[in-house]
Amino acid sequence: MELDSHGTLLSAIVAVLALVFYFYTSFYVAQARSKYKIEPPAVTGDARFERAYRVQMNTLEQLVFFLPLLCLATIYYRALGWLPAALGAVWVVGRFLYMRGYIIDPKRRAAGFGIAALAQLALLLLTIWGIAKSWS
């Protein structure tokens, strides 16, 4: 693997974007905590705070899945070096739509969630394909 190839660098940039987005979701929770006066360690008490907190937690839950897959797909899928990064960018956009939807109304979280889930599934398939090719 070329750590300095443009494909790998694109994946690194997308990883940074995903981390900055995740930071934004936790910053939003901290703001909601002071705005709706939820004293730590409580994480309940106001539906708007709870929605912001669920967005952060769900982004965390997905990030733990997303980052290793982005990393593995970048390492093992070499046919199109930019493809893992492109799917990663789709993931970030999907999670942003998920956040925007959820904060207005939990029922509106589905579209963004689905987009990010499809990008993750594609990264999983690239990883499996890449490992299978490397093995043989």
Q: Of 45, 68, 111, 114, which one interacts with a copy of itself (CB under 8 A)?
A: 68
Task: Say if residues 70 and 83 touch (Cβ distance below 8 Å).
Answer: no
Task: Please report, for residues 43, 51, 95, 110, the alpha-carbon distance to residue 101 in angstroms, rounded to integers and kept in the order given.
Answer: 21, 10, 10, 8
Count the Cβ atoms, other than its own, within 10 Å of residue 30.
Answer: 11
Query: Least Å distance between CB 9 and a copy of itself?
Result: 6
The residue ranges that bind a copy of itself (CB under 8 A) are: 1, 3-4, 6, 9, 12-13, 15-16, 19-20, 22-23, 26, 39-43, 47, 50-51, 53-54, 56, 60-61, 63-65, 67-69, 72, 75-76, 102, 106, 109, 124, 127-128, 131, 134-135
